[in-house]
Amino acid sequence: MADNKMLQNMKNNYLKEVSIQEELEKVKIENFLEFYSDGRYEFYKCSGCFGPQLGHIEVKCTKIAYESDVVRKFEVYLKKIKGFKEALWKRDKEREKLRAKEMVEAAAAAAQAGTAGTGGAAEGVAQIVKPRPPPLWTGQKFDRWKVEVMSWRNHSRGNDEEKYLDLEESLKKNEAIKECVRRTLKEKVGESKTITRICR
Ligand SMILES: [Zn+2]
């Protein structure tokens, strides 16, 4: 019971729920949460009352640390406010898009490096190696994926345009990045559909 009273006191010192909703819409979630590389996060805290910064009102700050149990409950309440989860999803989506963009850049670099290194010998190899599907991007490190793409390009049959189309199709299989890949590749490659063209 006492805890509930303290929680209510804390809420009284903070913005109202609707105002916190507005804040979540207007301000990037990174301003309120500290994200770690594994995706977990923690609320940024006020150094006066140790309450979360989200919804914090400076003039109502107690300057005395809230009980950690109360803060924990308050955080549960914050997480349930409309727009909180949505802000996290939005952040995830944006990061996914960024990754897709980096990936396309990496593919371009791989294509360039691949062209530079291919001579007659590689063409000869291409003739005797069976066609195989391009490496799927399933979220592995770009550097690793890049190596796989290079190897695939140098050792698989078909001309650059066919390979490009195969690669594009393969990338589009990943729902999360499909749209971004389509747009980014179109910008970079335009109408001329070859792998080497990606890098220009
Ligand atoms: Zn404070």
Ligand 1 mean position, distance from CA 28 (Å): 20
Task: State both tokens at 40.
Answer: 């977990």
Query: Is residue 158 in some structural domain?
Result: yes
What percentage of residues in the chain have a pLDDT greater than 70?
79
Do 148 and 81 belong together in one domain? no
At position 108, the amino acid (one-letter code) is A
Query: For residue 79, is it within any domain?
Result: yes
Residue 124 pLDDT exceeds 60: no
Neighbours of ion ligand 1 (CB under 5 A): 46, 48-49, 61
Domain boundary among 50, 73, 91: 91
Residue 153 reports pLDDT greater than 60: yes
**Would you place residue 175 in the very low, low, confident or very high pLDDT band (cuts 50, 70, 90)?**
confident
Element (H, E) at 33: strand 33-35
Domain boundary among 71, 91, 111: 91
Cα 31 to middle of ligand 1, angstroms: 16
The model scores a pTM over 0.75: no
Distance 71 CA to ligand 1 centre (A): 12
Cα of 61 vs centre of ligand 1, distance in Å, is 4
Number of domains the chain is built from = 2
Q: Does a structural domain hold residue 126?
A: no
Tell me which residue range forms the domain holding 173. 142-198
Q: How far is the CA of 44 from the centre of ligand 1 (A)?
A: 11
pLDDT above 80 (res 38): yes
Q: What is the DSSP letter of 27?
A: S
| Domain contains 100 | no
pLDDT higher at 92 or 188: 92
Residue 13 falls inside a structural domain: yes
